[in-house]
């Protein structure tokens, strides 16, 4: 049975996609949850509009992510943390710490869930990776300094 997806369905497709699914899956899961509607000629036009809307939103999100990346890549974010005299931190730097520091120093709000931080437990220069869009991933330069 051909259905038009009204929402993103994991493992199946995105909003506006026309997909072939088993009749029972459509009748028992997709239709009652409002995730899909039966593909008919009138619904095909609606699906085309959904795809156009999705593509425009995706393009806008990609452009915004690219603008944020171009402004953050040349900068170095400084984070102060308690450290021993040997330069080892008491604890570690998390993605939330990086997101807070980026917000405080550049006024750019990045969700902590989109930042990947390797185990930062020493003072010095480190790098975190931010993925703001499926096509836009960039490094964030971090300088960890000992708090006075």
Question: Structural domain of residue 110, as residue ranges?
Answer: 73-146
Q: Tell me the pLDDT of the chain (148 aa) as tens digits.
A: 899 998 889 999 888 888 999 999 999 999 999 999 898 888 888 788 888 888 899 899 999 999 999 999 999 999 999 999 999 999 999 999 999 999 999 999 999 999 999 989 999 999 999 999 888 999 999 999 998 7
Domain match, 132 and 81 both: yes
Domain match, 93 and 111 both: yes
Last residue of one domain, picked from the residues 46, 65, 84: 65
φ/ψ of 77, rounded to 5, equals -90, 125
pLDDT recorded at residue 40: 86
CATH code assigned at 131: 3.10.430.100
Domain match, 40 and 57 both: yes
Q: 3-state class of 139 per DSSP?
A: strand
CB-CB contact of 61 with 133 (8 Å) = yes
Cα three-residue angle 66-72-73, rounded to 5 degrees: 85
- Alpha-carbon distances of 52 from 20, 35, 63, 66, rounded to whole Å: 21, 18, 17, 21
Using only the alpha carbons of the chain, give its radius of gyration.
22
User: Domain tally for the chain?
Assistant: 2
pLDDT recorded at residue 134: 86
Q: 3-state class of 109 per DSSP?
A: coil
Write the pLDDT tens digit of every residue in 26-47: 999 999 999 998 988 888 887 8
Domain match, 60 and 94 both: no
Residue 2 to residue 20: CA distance in whole angstroms: 4
φ/ψ of 86, rounded to 5, equals -85, -5
Domain match, 88 and 141 both: yes
pLDDT recorded at residue 99: 94
Domain match, 18 and 41 both: yes
């Amino acid at each position: 049975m051909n259905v038009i997806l009204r929402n993103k369905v994991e493992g199946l497709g995105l909003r506006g996609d026309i997909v072939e699914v088993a009749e029972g899956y459509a009748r028992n899961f997709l239709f009652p949850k409002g995730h899909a509607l039966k593909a008919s000629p009138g619904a095909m036009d609606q699906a085309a509009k959904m795809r156009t809307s999705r593509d425009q939103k995706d393009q806008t999100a990609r452009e915004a992510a690219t603008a944020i990346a171009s402004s953050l890549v040349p900068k170095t974010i400084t984070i102060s943390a308690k450290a021993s005299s040997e330069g080892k931190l008491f604890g570690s730097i998390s993605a939330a710490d990086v997101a807070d520091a980026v917000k405080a120093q550049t006024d750019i709000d990045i969700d902590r869930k989109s930042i990947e931080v390797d185990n930062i437990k020493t003072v010095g220069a480190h790098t975190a990776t931010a993925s703001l869009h499926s096509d836009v991933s960039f490094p964030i330069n971090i300088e960890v300094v000992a708090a006075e």
